[in-house]
Amino acid sequence: MSLLPVYDALERVLNSVDQLDNETISIHDALGRITAGDINSNLTQPPFAASAMDGYAVKFADIDQTLEVVGESQAGLSYAGTLKTGQAVRIFTGAPMVDGADTVVIQENVDRDGNNLIINDCKAIGSNIRDAGSDFMDGECLVEAHTKIDARHIALLAAGNVAEFSVFRQPKVAILSTGDELLEVGSEIGPDKIVNSNVPLFMALVKEHGGIPINLGTAQDTEEDVKAKIALVKDVDIFVSIGGVSVGDYDIIQNVLKEAGLKVDFWKVAMQPGKPIVYGNFNGIPYFGMPGNPSSAYVCFANFMLPAMYKMQGQDQSGFPSSHARLEHDVRAGGARLNYMRAFYHENERGEKYVNSTLTQSSANLKTLARSNCLIVRDVDAPPADAGDLVKIFIIEP
Ligand code: AMP
Ligand code: MG
């Protein structure tokens, strides 16, 4: 079977997943969620004209006279009266403007003696006043649809008195690992065993990108155990298994899943690492069968599963951002498979990116993956590249 080109594989994945439905959540739970519609303000901000500084509310026409301080307007409690000619009102930052006043003089620019006030400097009428609505108006769109909510959006929505709003539901992702050699982190590691690192990797990746991971545990490489574990795949939006998708005698997951309803869309993509990836539909649920080598599984996640998760959540589905960087060393010609080289980029003082990929590229190597912050993307049959040439990178740091 010929290998499917990466971009065709991605297109098939994206065409087969849908945006999830919406749910209404509290602003207190909204960090990192994706808005499902425009969110409008429930009030005008500031709701009233307010002082921007600590000082005195006056009539600009009066500033050359000695004024009488007749009261106070503080944040949360306005001055009840109306300012008359010759009067001033002590006012504080955020306090409502005083009826009849048109200017605030900052306290650094006055001399006060008892209730007598002399203004030393005030340049313009209207100084130091925040007009009602100078930030935003009632009904104005504060945050657009398809925005990932961060702390600044939360502050803005809170100020607009938006207590709850609609976001895309988070994809639930069932994660199953397979392999007789795997033990969970923290266990006593006997002979011939290794620690399961892919499940912690995928649990974290799913969380990092807005999903809800569900750990189905590890299946032994037997039909019975794989069957028992896949019976747990229910009420999820994505099912991902890790390991056992290659052509070894113990790589049984694809066949067991097929008996249980898996329709394979593709198996084997022209990429390195990650070639043996399986993609299909498991009883209505998008299914990714990832290779067991951690870097292979990671590159498959970055290329296919991340865009799918983003599409489901109504986000830009390109996944990790791509950019360009100058090579710090020569790189040989690309081969028959699209190659993702784990690499490290840095920026010089002018913001220009440089990249090197001198760590081992073994797909079993986790240290290389953890120390990389990007993947150099080498196209199929790319000519050799020299130090100084620009190459495409995927930036993988969260
Ligand atoms: P497989 O895809 O099952 O042939 O596994 C390929 C390699 O990845 C083997 O060296 C496995 O031991 C390793 N591997 C598979 N699953 C995991 C896992 N969950 N954590 C760490 N290594 C794994
Ligand atoms: Mg295995």
CATH fold of 50-130 reads Molybdopterin biosynthesis moeA protein; domain 3 (2.170.190)
Task: Quick: pLDDT tens for 297-342.
Answer: 999 999 999 999 999 999 988 889 999 999 999 999 999 999 999 9
Task: Quick: pLDDT tens for 126-147.
Answer: 999 999 999 999 999 999 999 9
Q: State the average pLDDT over residues 235-244.
A: 97
* C-beta neighbour count of 28 within 10 angstroms: 10
Task: Quick: pLDDT tens for 181-199.
Answer: 999 999 999 999 999 999 9
Mean pLDDT of the chain: 96
Pocket test for ligand 1, best of 193, 242, 298 (most atoms within 8 A of CB): 242
CA of 124 to the centre of ligand 2 (A): 76
Work out the end-to-end distance of the chain between its first and last CA atoms, rounded to an integer number of angstroms. 36
In whole angstroms, what is the distance from residue 271 CA to residue 394 CA? Answer: 15
| 171 three-state secondary structure | coil
Does residue 124 have a pLDDT over 70?
yes
Burial 242-263 (b: 16+ CB within 10 A, else e): bbbbbeeeebbbbebbeeeebe
| 345 three-state secondary structure | strand
Q: Which residues 6+ apart lie within 8 Å of 248 measured at CB?
A: none
276 lines ligand 1 (CB under 6 A): no
199 lines ligand 1 (CB under 6 A): yes
Which pLDDT belongs to residue 2? Answer: 79
CATH 3.40.980.10 in the chain, residue ranges? 6-20+170-312
> CA dist 291 to 45, 247, 253, 299, 393, Å?
53, 11, 11, 10, 22
Q: How confident is the model at residue 393 (pLDDT cuts 50, 70, 90)?
A: very high
181 lines ligand 1 (CB under 6 A): yes
Q: pTM score, two decimals?
A: 0.92
Class for domain 22-44+136-168, per CATH? Answer: alpha beta
CA of 42 to the centre of ligand 2 (A): 55
274 lines ligand 1 (CB under 6 A): no
Pocket test for ligand 1, best of 184, 293, 295 (most atoms within 8 A of CB): 293
Q: How confident is the model at residue 91 (pLDDT cuts 50, 70, 90)?
A: very high
175 lines ligand 1 (CB under 6 A): no
Q: Which residues 6+ apart lie within 8 Å of 184 measured at CB?
A: 195, 196, 199, 218
Between vectors from CA 190 to CA 254 and to CA 297, what angle results, nearest 5°? 35
91 lines ligand 1 (CB under 6 A): no
Q: State the average pLDDT over residues 235-245.
A: 96
Which pLDDT belongs to residue 248? Answer: 87
Does residue 271 have a pLDDT over 70?
yes
Pocket test for ligand 1, best of 182, 192, 247 (most atoms within 8 A of CB): 182
In whole angstroms, what is the distance from residue 178 CA to residue 142 CA? Answer: 47
317 and 304 in contact (C-beta within 8 Å)?
A: no
Residue with the smallest CA separation from ligand 1 atom 15 is 292
CATH 2.170.190.11 in the chain, residue ranges? 50-130
CA of 293 to the centre of ligand 2 (A): 9
Percent of the chain with pLDDT over 90: 94
Does residue 1 have a pLDDT over 70?
no
Task: Quick: pLDDT tens for 28-46.
Answer: 999 999 999 999 999 999 9
CATH fold of 322-395 reads Beta-clip (2.40.340)
Residue with the smallest CA separation from ligand 1 atom 23 is 292
CA of 276 to the centre of ligand 2 (A): 12
Helices (H), the chain: 6-16, 151-159, 198-208, 223-230, 253-259, 294-300, 306-312, 366-371
Between vectors from CA 248 to CA 305 and to CA 308, what angle results, nearest 5°? 5
Class for domain 6-20+170-312, per CATH? Answer: alpha beta
Least Cα distance to 300 among 309, 289, 311 occurs for 289
Does residue 85 have a pLDDT over 70?
yes
CA of 291 to the centre of ligand 1 (A): 7
Does residue 61 have a pLDDT over 90?
yes
Residue with the smallest CA separation from ligand 1 atom 6 is 292
**DSSP letters along 353-397, please?**
EEEE--S---TT-HHHHHH-SEEEEE-TTPPPB-TT-EEEEEE--
